[in-house]
Structure 1
Amino acid sequence: MNIISLVPSITETLFGFGLTDHEVIGRTKFCIHPKELVKNVEIIGGTKNLNISKIKSLSPDLIIANKEENDKAQVEELMKDFKVWVTDIETLEDNQNFLTKLGILLNKEEIAQNFNQIINSIFNLKKTTDPIKVAYLIWKNPYMTVGSDTFIHEIIEKLGFENLFKNEKRYPEISLDQMQEADFIFLSTEPFPFQQKHAEELQNELPGKKIIVVDGEAFSWYGTHLAKCSEYLQTLFSGNFQ
């Protein structure tokens, strides 16, 4: 089966299931994992700016997209000529179902089960009695965070933290004043590339707050990527908050 992936984390997942660069025949320019394999795969544009003509020339058996990450109009155009699987992953349960379904599709059910077991084990952590309130920032100028209907929110809450902005939706803009209630502020390395210098700048604005630069992929990449982040996420939780 020749597959084109329109999502970075899904591309990584396909390779994680053991597919080769002869089976994954197209990927976006943002698909960077695993480096040694994606370099051999044809680039078909960006997640929201697909090269439709190039995709058509590759004649895939299946295209895997995502409701949030891809442009609806472009996906619908591809549906006219190809089989397109539009994933919608907001929760860990959604992710488990996605991996299970992919395992069935690829006749790799055991691999799917193993990944699901590893991912489930990450979140069997001892939770604190009083959840630590976290403001998770994804953008600067303006500052933006995550609401309750996002995959990032799910990871924050399942790790035992409390998303300070759980009553918001999607990716709202927030002010410095609104961050005052946070116990900790996480600065994500993506989509805005927060670095330590940004943490230091924000620290001057919010003295006394614990501000940490965190691996954005660990919080936002669904599919098999979470399995790679087991040690990181558990260390982040137990090392800094116990």
Structure 2
Amino acid sequence: MPVYTDQLGRWVDVPAEPRRIVSLVPSITELLYTLQLDDQVTGITKFCVHPESWFRQKTRVGGTKNIKPEIIHELQPDLIIANKEENVKEQVDELTKKYPVYITDVNNLDDALEMIEQIGLITGRQNNAGHLLSQINTAFTTLQITNNQQRTGYLIWRNPYMTIGRDTFIHDMLSRCGLQNIFGNTTRYPAIDTWQLKQCDLLLLSSEPFPFSQKHIDELQPLLPHTRIMLVDGEMFSWYGSRLLNAPAYFNSLLGSIS
């Protein structure tokens, strides 16, 4: 059985051709679909909403933070794909005692490209992954980077407001767009107060994990009269699988609207 090193540096024994794959990561579930692993993927989480056909048809094994091991045991996977940030360490550790678990750790575009290459290798879809990587790299060459370095805040949660630090995938996407994360001196996902947002030229409210909407713009705008506040598609900023194909075009459209 081939031995691979995952993105945490762990050795993982995986069958040469895994036939019963469980994905615990929504963006990687979409990646597995793009790599044409429909027959091999047997379990996904309740947040794996893309593709819609898989969301309707595949067995759901709980949420990313609340895995139901009894369902996974019924599926008897020969490969589980997890993520350091999106899944709970203790739950993943329990699964590693029974199954091959490949753990990803994606904090920037380079990590994402490495992950796609590795997933293609361990699932026997090297050619598909290589083609996808070529397309993503080409797409990012079309990114029209803004030169005005707008001071930008990005909110992912409300009550309390939470933002993103320098060691996150979203920060890397903002930087590639030429936007300056005003909370780039922090790490991970700090809680903040409204007054800290007053230094923003631009404030982006994400569609996930908290579903910000127009009413939240209306709520914040009187407190931030000099800040432009916009709703953005959180999947484009935080999904690091095959959705990266469409991210640069989305960013170009966004940047065009704020220039």
TM-score (norm 1): 0.94
Contact between 1:89 and 1:95, CA under 8 Å: does it hold in 2? yes
Aligned to 1:205: 223
Q: Which runs of 5+ in 2 are unaligned?
A: 1-18
Secondary structure at 1:135 match in 2? strand
Which range moved further: 197-206 or 104-113?
A: 104-113
Alpha-carbon deviation of 1:118?
Answer: 2.9
Distance in 2 (CA, whole Å) between partners of 1:115 and 1:180 is 40
Q: Could you say which residue in structure 1 is the equivalent of 2:20?
A: 2
Query: C-alpha separation between the residues in 1 aligned to 2:144 and 2:71?
Result: 49
Q: Give the paired residue count.
A: 240
Any stretches of 5+ residues in structure 1 without a counterpart?
A: none
Query: In the alignment, does 2:243 pair up with 1:218?
Result: no
Corresponding residue number in structure 1 for 2:63? 46
| Partner Cα distance (1:6, 1:35) in 2 | 16
Verify: 1:80 aligned to 2:101, yes or no.
no
Moved more, 89-98 or 168-177: 168-177
Cα distance in 1 between the residues matched to 2:134 and 2:202:
29
Aligned pair 1:63/2:87, yes or no? no
User: Post-superposition shift, 1:74?
Assistant: 1.0
Separation of aligned partners in 1, 2:196 and 2:132: 38
Picking from 125, 133, 138, the partner of 2:151 is: 133
Aligned match for 2:182, one of 164, 170, 190: 164
Aligned mate of 2:200, from 167, 171, 182: 182
Task: Give the aligned partner of residue 231 of structure 1.
Answer: 249
> What whole-Å deviation, never above 9, does each CA across 1:69-106 have from its counterpart, x for those lacking one?
11111111111110000100001010000111112222
Shift of 1:129: 3.7
Choose 222-231 or 145-154, whichever is displaced more: 222-231
Tell me the secondary structure at the aligned position of residue 107 of structure 1: coil
Decide which of 116, 124, 138 is 1:107's aligned counterpart: 124
Contact 1:194–1:213 under 8 Å retained in 2: yes
In structure 2, the residue matched to 1:196 is: 214
TM superposition shift of 1:126: 4.0
Q: CA contact under 8 A between 1:123 and 1:159: conserved in structure 2?
A: no
Question: Quick one: which amino acid aligns to residue 50 of structure 1?
Answer: I
> Which residue of structure 2 lines up, in the alignment, with residue 91 of structure 1?
108
Q: Distance in 2 between matches of 1:177 and 1:99?
A: 40
RMSD, aligned CA:
1.4
SS in 1 for 2:163: coil
What is the one-letter code of the residue matched to 2:180? E
Q: Of 25, 32, 40, which aligns to 1:23?
A: 40
> 2-side partners of 1:159 and 1:129: how far apart?
9
For the residue of structure 1 that corresponds to 2:161, the secondary structure is coil
What TM-score does the superposition give when structure 2 sets the normalisation length? 0.88
Identity %: 45
